[in-house]
Amino acid sequence: MDRKKVAILLEDFVEDVEFIYPFYRFKEEGYIVDVLAPRVGEFTGKKGLIFHSSHRVDPDAVEQYIALFIPGGYAPDRFRRDKETIEFIRRMYESGKVVGAICHGPWALISAGIIKGKRVTGFFSIKDDIQNAGAIYTGKPVEVDGNLITATDPKAMPEMLKIMTAMLRERV
């Protein structure tokens, strides 16, 4: 396993800034960043930017990564539809890797079945979904519960990524 490798999920209609900011923030910290999607290819963000995935999501590749970042926008609704993506998320979490999700990203955490009893935040419109999945919705800009870190929206990204990269430094 490369202890300096981070995965970021990608799908169409990702919130552009929630993909770009963490991608470059992890690179600034010296991490190798793999962009994972259900297929290798081109994807269009909510604001129309074009992004490319470097790898297909592979649940058996969990050991290659130290962390996973799940951006928001409408992409999480698409992540939920892909069994391999959901299994990858579940395995990352269960193996103790740092898992971050922002905005609507907790939808994917719900589908992975990993938030019951956890303190979680996310975009206010998915509060009911988070609570109905058995999590404690805090509404804080950033929430940390064990190896899970969640945030509400792009305004929370500086704090979220500061905390997340600090968590990763402790593990490398």
Say how many C-beta atoms besides its own lie within 10 A of residue 20's C-beta: 16
Domains, in order of start, for the chain: 5-171 (3.40.50.880)
In whole angstroms, how far apart are CA 30 and each of 23, 95, 101? 11, 23, 21
Alpha-carbon distance of 9 to 50, in angstroms, equals 14
Q: Which of 90, 97, 104, 118 is catalytic?
A: 104
- Asked whether the CA dihedral 11, 28, 34, 113 is positive or negative, the reply is negative
Task: List the pLDDT tens digit at each of the 172 positions of the chain.
Answer: 456 999 999 999 999 999 999 999 999 999 999 999 999 999 999 999 999 999 999 999 999 999 999 999 999 999 999 999 999 999 999 999 999 999 999 999 999 999 999 999 999 999 999 999 999 999 999 999 999 999 999 999 999 999 999 999 988 7
Is-catalytic flag, 55? no
Is the pTM higher than 0.95? The answer reads: yes
Q: Which residue, among 132, 140, 147, has the nearest Cα to 89 in the 3D structure?
A: 147
Q: Hey, is 37 helix, strand or coil?
A: strand
